[in-house]
Structure 1
Amino acid sequence: MAEEILPAIPLESWRPTKETLHRYAQIIGKVALAKGIRRNHWWHLTYRLTARGWTTVALGTVTEGPVFTCSFDFFDHVLRICNDRGTEEEVPLAGQSVASFYREATNALRNLGVEVVLAHPTPFDLPDHGRPFDEDEEHRTYDPAAAQRAFHVHSQVGRILEEFSATYSGKISPVQLFWHTFDLSVQRFSDRKVPMPDSVDPVTREAYSREVISAGFWFGDAKTPAPTFYSYTAPEPAGLSDRPLRPAEARWVVSGSGHNAYLPYDDVRASADPVGTALDFFQSQYEAGSSLAGWDAVGLACNNGITDPVLTSPRLGWPE
């Protein structure tokens, strides 16, 4: 039988591994926050997908070396930390508590010449947010098969998000994994600034300083206990949730003071064309949000990653 394009990944089938891995991801994500060169909308601290897992961007600066990356390998099941001096360290993912992983990762970084002090060495926006990482002996489950299956889902969804990205020529983020919420997503921006009151926290202020339409996927959590594709527009224009979504299984869900468009992952899996169904869902929310927000959707359109109108001609291919 042909391999499924989008394999099953019920939340309950790997929840303990997910909860442990989420905290591992937050630990290394906070290393990126401390040692990365800051980019707009926090793009310096997110993970990128590789053929084997997730990686940070290159961290360190010209004057505060070494340059290094931290990569989760879901085939060898290690955190691999490499520097620009040609040396590396590995930290196993299995057989660890969050506390022992934190200690081993910190020691590995130190062995490579990276001294890092996390400003807040505790989970962000998780139920145990007040407990230091080095005291967490509760979360210690890592099932290699489950982690590899979850990465395979990320890899496939990442390709779908890359295809969606190819149709937009404006300011757009990488396809990236946000470690605080554990969602894989891509953000399209307009150039309009979003005024916010001084009371808004600095994380939100930077993330939403420009109009944005986000498309993404998460594995599920206590509020949404199933893997789900999502999309939203921020700030949300009036009347957005009255606009139709595609396919029929998609729906608007109240989220805070606004709405998210949701499409269950399993509905996409069951469709005759999972890739086309997911792309159509993202496009339908983008059409609704960009239209109501007054974006120049025609001017920002991009034909399969090509912006030059001459090169879009079917008579012309890639120059040899």
Structure 2
Amino acid sequence: MEWFPAMPLDDWADTKETVHRFTQIVGKVRLASSVRRNHWWNVPFHLTGRGITTRPSGGFEGRPIFTVDFDFVGHRLIVNRLDGRSTSFGLIGHTVASFHRTLFEVLGDLGIEVEILAEPFGLTDGTPFANDTRHAAYDPAMVTRYWQVLSQVSLVLDRSAADFCGKISPVHHFWHTFDIAVTRFSGRSAGEQPQADPVTREAYSKEVISSGFWFGDDAMPWPAFYSYTAPEPAGIAEEPLRPERAAWLLQRGSHLAVLRYDDARACDDPVAAVLDFLDSAYQAGARRARWAPELLVAPPGTTDPVLEQEAPKP
């Protein structure tokens, strides 16, 4: 399969709105059933060989251990308990309301009790899940393509992350914003943010440079790779980006480094172009925010001092 196959938002906008809500419902189950981690690392999905997973959840205070997996090849939702009990149902043909109802019926049948705030997070249409019969589109081919693109982007983000030896998040798929990202930390505090909401304060309590990919939305109706530095240092938008088509965009008062997905696809080596973009965006943020140079390692993924001494110097 080609790297970065076509993924125009117009081809699956209605399906994306439905699947986004499906993932929010399951993501909220994960949120309510997992141990809280710094920067909300317990919340996102991780990739599997057929879709995405909550990872094992529950387990404390007498609760069963279970996972909820989306199979985007067979187009089913699968709930597994650690004791071997399992059940699943098809994703095709569901409204958001019927998906929500069926999921909680399945959880109840398996003895899994969980309560969620059953309304969308951060979406323009905030219809409670139980009442949402409008969102029902599900194009299986485009949903499989969504998972395939996620999988390829995840590998590229992992390769980019290998250059960094400081605190760094896993590569994970956030259900609230429907993007996939990896976040690097300088090790310094971001300072107090009393005006920010609790979700934001936890996510950005430390200095970060975050990079990822989103599939597009109403504000930016095209898929793109992105990177940002938070808190944003002065003058970052004056820093050069690579390749040529990458640009700084002002979004909600902050600057995003953006490389459109189709521009990356048009390059002779799309993977190399994306890695170059991510490196240039990191270097821009690191220079302006004065991050320690030793946070980058060579060879990539190595902190062995013997190998570091043997590595050729640039």
Q: If the TM-score is normalised by the length of the shorter chain, which range does it land in?
A: over 0.9
TM-score, with length taken from structure 2: 0.96
Q: Would the aligned equivalents of 1:67 and 1:83 in 2 still touch at CA under 8 Å?
A: yes
Following the alignment from structure 1 to structure 2, what is the Cα–Cα distance between the partners of residues 37 and 264? 36
- Find out whether 1:252 has 2:240 as its counterpart: no
Question: Counterpart in 2 of 1:122?
Answer: 119
Whichever residue aligns with residue 167 of structure 1, its letter is D
Structure 2: how far apart are the matches of 1:88 and 1:304? 40
- Aligned residue for 1:185? 181
Residues 136-215 of structure 1 aligned to structure 2 (within 5 Å): 136-215=132-211
Is structure 2 residue 70 aligned with structure 1 residue 79?
A: no
Q: Summarize deviations over 1:112-151 as a string: whole Å, max 9, x none.
A: 2210111x2100111112x210100000011111100111
d(CA) in 2 for partners of 1:183 and 1:13?
18
Q: Deviations over 1:181-238 (max 9, x none)?
A: 1001100012111223323100000000000100000010001100100000000001
Counterpart contact for 1:59–1:69, Cα < 8 Å: yes
TM-superposition CA deviations, 1:65-84 (whole Å, max 9, x none): 21111111111101111111
Distance in structure 2 (CA, Å) of the matches to 1:64 and 1:33: 18
Aligned to 1:51, what secondary structure does the other structure show?
Answer: coil
1:271 aligns to what?
267
State the 1:302 CA deviation.
4.8
CA distance, structure 1, for counterparts of residue 277 and residue 182 of structure 2: 14
Matches of residues 1-320 of structure 1 in structure 2 within 5 Å? Answer: 3-118=1-116, 120-129=117-126, 131-312=127-308
Preserved CA contact (<8 Å) 2:179 2:214: yes
Q: Kindly state the Cα deviation for residue 300 of structure 1 after the two structures are TM-superposed.
A: 3.8
CA distances 1:269-294 after superposition (whole Å, capped 9, x unpaired): 11111111000100001001011111
The answer (yes or no) to whether the contact 1:45–1:57 under 8 Å persists in 2 is no
Counterparts of 2:61 and 2:276, CA distance in 1 = 46
Instruction: Figure out how many residues of one structure are paired with residues of the other and give that number.
Output: 311
Q: Is contact 1:252-1:259 (8 Å) kept?
A: yes
SS at match of 2:257: strand
Q: Shift of the alpha carbon at 1:57?
A: 2.2
Structure 2: how far apart are the matches of 1:212 and 1:197? 15
> CA contact under 8 A between 2:57 and 2:65: conserved in structure 1?
yes
Aligned mates of 2:233, 2:185 — CA distance in 1: 15
Any gaps of 5 or more consecutive residues in structure 1?
316-320
**Paired residue secondary structure (1:33):** helix
Contact 2:121–2:176 at 8 Å: present in 1 too? yes
**Percent identity of the aligned residues?**
50
Match for 1:41: what amino acid? H
Residue type of the alignment partner of 1:259 = H
Aligned partners of 1:257, 1:46: CA distance in 2, in Å? 25
The question of whether the paired residues in 2 share the 8 Å contact of 1:69 and 1:83 is answered with yes
Question: 1:6, 1:277 → 2: CA distance?
Answer: 12
Tell me how far 1:61 sits from its aligned partner: 3.1
Amino acid at match of 1:225: P
Would you say the 8 A contact 2:44–2:175 is kept in 1? yes
Q: What is the alpha-carbon root mean square deviation over aligned residues?
A: 1.3
Structure 2: gaps (5+ residues): none
Partner SS for 1:89: strand
- Secondary structure of the residue that 1:311 maps to in structure 2? helix
* Counterpart residue type for residue 272 of structure 1: D
Question: Residue 229 of structure 1 contacts residue 263 of structure 1 at CA under 8 Å; is this kept in 2?
Answer: yes
